[in-house]
Amino acid sequence: MTTTDQRPLSTMTDPGEFAPEDPRIVERMIVPLARRAVEIVRDMRPENSLARLVTPEISKDLARRAALTRRLRSTTGHAPTRQLEVTGVRTCVVNPRTVEASCVLREPDRARFLAMRWELRHSGWRVTVLEIG
């Protein structure tokens, strides 16, 4: 597969069991990771809850955003709602060791777009880029 052969994961053959290095395994991890990342940003979940799936830089960024949320909440007193719905999940295999994914996370008062890049490292699949809009 070349970098120009960017097919959605769902069109790949053999939907059975996946080997740990199979890029299709990422498809199962997108929704839980997106939900947890936004819950961290909203200070609803501990900052280290994604430490095994993301790079240290992403963990630091999520922790920084959670701290900003805590600071804002202390001045407004506004408590977050727990209604989060992940929709519009899209995946693209860039090469056998890289997958790019995006999704929309809907909350009662707003919608967020998440884009992520998964790379196969020696310890498994890790998110190396995470953008939350």
Q: Which amino acid is at 122?
A: H
Identity of residue 39:
E
Which single residue is written with the structure tokens 């992520």? 116
Between 110 and 130, residue with greater pLDDT:
130
Q: What does the block give as tokens for 127? A: 């998110």
The Cβ of residue 121 has, within 10 Å, a number of other Cβ atoms equal to: 11
User: Which pLDDT score is estimated for 8?
Assistant: 52
Fold topology of 22-132: Nuclear Transport Factor 2; Chain: A, (3.10.450)
**Whether residue 63 has pLDDT greater than 70:** yes
Residue 101 has pLDDT above 70, yes or no: yes
User: Considering the chain, what is the average pLDDT of its residues?
Assistant: 82
The more confidently predicted of residues 21 and 53 is: 53
The answer to whether the beta carbons of residues 33 and 116 sit under 8 Å apart is yes
